[in-house]
Amino acid sequence: MTVLEERGVFWWHDDEIPENCFAPPSSVPGLLKIGKDGNITLDLDGYLPSDKGAWSVLMEAADCEGKIICGLLRVTDRRVMLLKLTPQGGRVSTNGLSYSGYHASQCLVSERALHEQSDDFSFYALEIDLTGFEGWLRLGSSEVSVVGSTISVKHEEINAIEYEIGEAKMAIKFSVSGDGLSDGRKDHVEIRDNASIIFYPETPLGLDEMQNKFLWLDDIFTILTDSSYNLTWPRLRHRGSRETRYRWFFMRSLSKESAPEYYKMPTNFIQLRDVFGSIVAAWLEKREEFGAGFYLYLGTRRGMQIYSEHLFASLVWGIEALHRKKSSEDVEAIKIKEKVARVLESVDRRDKRWLCGQLKHAHEPSLEKRIFDVLASLPVEGIDRDAVRAFAKKCAALRNDISHFGSHRNGGSYDEFLRELRSHSEALSKFYHVLILHEIGIEPKIINDWLFRGFKSHYTCSVFVEVGLLKTGILKAATP
């Protein structure tokens, strides 16, 4: 499936376009395709000018470095720019047509001519339509009233909201669209709320930096909605001699998940409206601070299937990484270090080097303690510390069994081992999600309402009961 498939003419970015012409004489016809996942290919009917002539069809990736292809599409008259090119396909023939093809990592599409210089190609704004996230937005800006046979609709305009994100700025803008929204008699009328996020960096950014900003916004919506549904393709704004807006495509992994339902989400915009800027700012700060402590959880939410062992190990690695980043050396660790130093002073010099290596990490907390410390700090209702400690102990044992034995260390049914892994992965994943929500500033009440009083609360409680975090009786009270 493609999001763009259209023929046009294409040329090197630095080829001069004569006055009153829409393309240079060197342009070549071809077909541009952009897949749903951002896979960008260009199949030309010939080859672009080169000092190698037709043999340029056989060029290597290094020959494309720094080159940009521009184009004009035949049906829509849209302009395109293909960047980060690699050769793909093509043929050299001495008795027929020679033609070439390219794969591009980035594609910019504009309604206007592309006059900007590539060495100054930076963007002052990133705009993302929030289509599919209406359930999270919960705007409800249209009021319908029915009196007898008369139906009336009143729409209330919502003003844009601006937030400070460190030195950058972000705005959420609202609009309305639909069918039949004009005077006169209609067969049908439809009205829809629309919203978009616009991110304004402190200074204009290049494509790679803007792509990072887009991906972290995509990630935070995964956290806020508990859904792997992806943001739509963004737009970029460039301000040169005039402002130009681009639709922007690039290769990315897309989830098959449908748009999230409002009743399944842990948060919504109504709850977060006043603090959304601080939540996004905290997200940026914490993901930079904790690194793998955040990424390893997000890596399990990409809509990709992975083995149970890999999933569980990734969750435990992430919890461990986060604990290492957050924790400072406690009193007990200092005492153990001092004890190790005393022991080393008392042993024979010949044995000291060996023993020093053996005791190098003696002061560090065990994996069980790291998991317990992280989970016990979360504001989750109704789970006592003893249950969390037992859960942490089991998680540490399972991770060590995977790493050192590939299954239960004492043998036994592999199916039973997988069942334990899956149940503990589900519970640990839920805890991990709560952990990130808590770290970025989501209120404990919102978190607990989602866990224990929301649409999926019975399922959540069932997961916790299965691994011993809650008692069976809680299931009767967890039905929404």
121 and 238 Cβ atoms separated by less than 8 Å: yes
Indicate if 279 and 406 belong to the same structural domain: no
Q: Give the structural domain span for 57.
A: 2-119
Name the domain boundary from 102, 119, 136. Answer: 119
**What Rg value do the Cα atoms of the chain yield, rounded?**
29
pLDDT at 352: 62
Indicate if 300 and 345 belong to the same structural domain: no
Indicate if 133 and 158 belong to the same structural domain: yes
- The Cα–Cα gap between 36 and 52 comes to 34
- The Cα–Cα gap between 389 and 399 comes to 15
Q: Would you report the helix, strand and coil content of the chain in percent, each value rounded to 5? A: 40, 25, 35
Q: Which of 50-64, 241-255, 356-370 has the lowest mean pLDDT?
A: 50-64
- The Cα–Cα gap between 440 and 289 comes to 12
| Residue 252 belongs to some domain of the structure | no
Indicate if 284 and 341 belong to the same structural domain: no
| Residue 251 belongs to some domain of the structure | no
Q: What's the distance, Cα to Cα, between the start and end of the chain in Å?
A: 39
Indicate if 280 and 428 belong to the same structural domain: no
| Residue 352 belongs to some domain of the structure | yes
- The Cα–Cα gap between 270 and 137 comes to 7
Indicate if 281 and 148 belong to the same structural domain: yes
Q: What is the mean pLDDT of residues 97-115?
A: 85
Structure tokens at 457: 């609360």
pLDDT at 358: 59
Indicate if 170 and 72 belong to the same structural domain: no
Indicate if 151 and 93 belong to the same structural domain: no
Q: What is the mean pLDDT of residues 297-325?
A: 91
Question: Taking 60 as the threshold, does the pLDDT of residue 308 lie above it?
Answer: yes
303 and 256 Cβ atoms separated by less than 8 Å: yes
Question: Taking 80 as the threshold, does the pLDDT of residue 452 lie above it?
Answer: yes
pLDDT at 365: 78
Indicate if 354 and 370 belong to the same structural domain: no
- The Cα–Cα gap between 81 and 107 comes to 6
pLDDT at 477: 54
- The Cα–Cα gap between 337 and 406 comes to 33
Query: Phi and psi at residue 113, in whole multiples of 5°?
Result: -60, 150
Residue 23 Cα distances to 6, 11, 93, 157, 405, angstroms: 17, 8, 26, 43, 65
Model confidence at 349, in pLDDT bands (50, 70, 90)?
Answer: low
Q: Which of 135-139, 183-187, 201-205, 249-253 has the lowest mean pLDDT?
A: 183-187
> Any idea which residue has 């209702």 for tokens?
381
pLDDT at 89: 75
Looking at the chain, the whole-number percentage of residues with pLDDT higher than 70 is 85
Name the domain boundary from 119, 138, 170. Answer: 119
**pLDDT, averaged across the chain:** 87
Model confidence at 336, in pLDDT bands (50, 70, 90)?
Answer: low
> Residue 197: how many CA atoms within 13 Å on its side-chain side?
26
DSSP-assigned letter for residue 17: P
Q: ∠124-299-431 over CA atoms, to 5°?
A: 110
User: Which ranges of 327-456 would DSSP assign to H, the alpha helix?
Assistant: 331-346, 349-358, 367-376, 385-405, 414-439, 444-452
Q: Model pTM?
A: 0.86
pLDDT at 328: 59
Domain tally, the chain: 4
Q: What is the mean pLDDT of residues 333-338?
A: 60
- The Cα–Cα gap between 107 and 23 comes to 18
| Residue 133 belongs to some domain of the structure | yes
pLDDT at 356: 67
Question: Taking 90 as the threshold, does the pLDDT of residue 39 lie above it?
Answer: yes
Model confidence at 56, in pLDDT bands (50, 70, 90)?
Answer: low
pLDDT at 30: 96
Q: Which of 169-173, 179-183, 265-269, 319-323 has the lowest mean pLDDT?
A: 179-183
Q: What is the mean pLDDT of residues 31-38?
A: 96
Q: What is the mean pLDDT of residues 309-331?
A: 86
pLDDT at 338: 61
Model confidence at 385, in pLDDT bands (50, 70, 90)?
Answer: very high
Model confidence at 361, in pLDDT bands (50, 70, 90)?
Answer: low
Beta bridge partners of 223: none
pLDDT at 75: 96
Query: Phi and psi at residue 118, in whole multiples of 5°?
Result: -65, -25
Q: What is the pLDDT of residues 406-448, one digit of tens each?
A: 777 777 788 888 999 999 999 999 999 999 999 999 999 999 9
